[in-house]
Amino acid sequence: MGILEGKKGLILGLANNKSIAWGVAQACHKQGAELGFNYLGEQLEKRVRPLAEQVGATLIESMDVGEDAEMDAFFAKVEEKWGKMDFLIHSIAFANKDALRNPFSQASRQDFQLALDISAYSFIACAQRAAGIMNDGGSMVTMTYLGAERAIPGYGMMGVAKAALEASTRYLADDLGHSRGIRVNAVSAGPIRTLAASAVGDFKQLMAKSARGSMLGRNVSQEEVGNTTAYLVSDLASGVSGEVHYVDAGFHVGAGDPGE
C-alpha cells in the first residue's frame, strides 16, 4: 500500500515531461494518490492532458495564477469535483528572460512585480484557496532553489522571488499550522534541465558546478525531487513543517566546487 493511498492532491505547474512537477506526479501516483492538475491556456492543455491522464488524473483544468478570477474558478471546480482535498504542490515560477539576463541593479519595477507575483505570491494565493477545502492535517509544498540565500550568477531576480517564497512558506506554516494543523514546506532542488531553467543564464555551467561541488558528485533528477515531495505531503512527515528541505545531493552544505 502506497504512502498516499486515499489522499487527493493538486499538482500545479506541469508543463511537459521534463518538468519537476512530472517527477512529483509520477511519485505521488506510484504512492496511490488521486491527482488533479492545472494548465496555462489551450496550447498547454495539449501537452499537459496526455501526461495527466497517464497518472490517472481525475481533474485537469485551466488556471493562470496571475488572475484571481481564474484561480477562484479553478478551486471552485476542485471543490465541486472532489469536495475535500489533502495536499497541494506548487511548482510554478516565472520571470521575464531579459530580467534574468540584465544586470540585477537594472531591475525594473514591472519585471520585479511580475517575478514576485507569479513565483512567490501565487503560492499564498493557491494556499489560501486550497486551505478552504483541505482536510485538517493536510499538507502543502512549493519548489525553491539555493539562489534564495546565495547570489547565484544568472539567477538574479528569481533569487529574490525565491527568498520571498521561502519566507512565505514559514509564515503560511505558522498561520495554517496553528489554525488548521496544515503543514507547509518547501523543497530546494538542485539544478535540473527544464523549460523554466532555460531562462537562467549559463545554466549548463551551473549544472556542471553543482555536480562537482555536491557530496554525491552528481546532479539530482526529477524523480528524486518527486519522491521527497511525496514523502513531505504524506503522513510519514506529520511532524515536519515550515522547513526548506534540500534535494541537491548535498551541494548546499559542501565546501564547493573542488575544480575551482
User: Quick one: which of 236, 223, 131 has its CA closest to 184?
Assistant: 131
Answer yes or no whether residue 94 interacts with ligand NAP by CB under 6 A: yes
215 binds ligand NAP (CB under 6 A): no
Per DSSP bridges, beta strands 34-39 and 59-62 are parallel
The H-or-E segment that residue 188 falls in is: strand 183-189
d(CA 70, CA 119): 17
How many angstroms separate the CA atoms of 182 and 87, rounded? 9
Helix (H) or strand (E) holding 132: helix 122-132
Q: Any bridge partners for residue 88, and if so which? A: 10, 140
- Half-sphere exposure of residue 36: CA atoms within 13 angstroms, side-chain side: 23
Which is the catalytic residue, given 155, 171, 231, 246?
Answer: 155
> Is residue 145 annotated as a catalytic residue, yes or no?
yes
Q: Which is nearer to ligand NAP, 181 or 250 (CB)?
A: 250
Minimum distance from residue 97 beta carbon to ligand NAP (Å): 12
Q: Is 96 or 135 the residue whose CB approaches ligand NAP more closely?
A: 96
In whole angstroms, give the CA distance from residue 89 to residue 166: 14
116 binds ligand NAP (CB under 6 A): no
Shortest distance in whole angstroms from residue 90 CB to ligand NAP: 7
- Residue 188: strand pairing partners: 144, 246
Q: Containing H/E element for 112? A: helix 109-116
* Smaller CB separation from ligand NAP, 66 or 177: 66
| Min CB(154)–ligand NAP separation in Å | 11
Q: Please, which of residues 130-169 interact with ligand NAP by CB under 6 A?
A: 143-145
Query: Can you read off the three cell numbers belonging to residue 25?
Result: 506526479
> Which stretch in 28-36, 170-178, 189-197, 229-237 sits in contact with ligand NAP by CB under 6 A?
189-197
Give catalytic status of residue 171 as yes or no.
no
Catalytic residue among 39, 121, 145, 246: 145
Q: Which is nearer to ligand NAP, 83 or 104 (CB)?
A: 104
Q: Which of 3, 52, 59, 93 binds ligand NAP (CB under 6 A)?
A: 93
Q: How far is the CB of 163 from ligand NAP (least distance, A)?
A: 12
Angle between helices 20-30 and 41-54 (to 10 degrees): 30
Among residues 100, 84, 131, which one has the least CA distance to residue 198?
Answer: 100
User: Residue 126 or residue 181: which is nearer to ligand NAP going by CB?
Assistant: 126
Binding to ligand NAP in span 10-69, by CB under 6 A: 13-15, 19-21, 40, 44, 64-66
Q: For cell 548535498, name the residue.
A: 250
Task: Tell which one of 107, 197, 208, 240 touches ligand NAP (CB under 6 A).
Answer: 197
Residues that bind ligand NAP (CB under 6 A): 13-15, 19-21, 40, 44, 64-66, 91-94, 118, 143-145, 189, 191-192, 194-197
Active-site annotation, residues: 145, 155
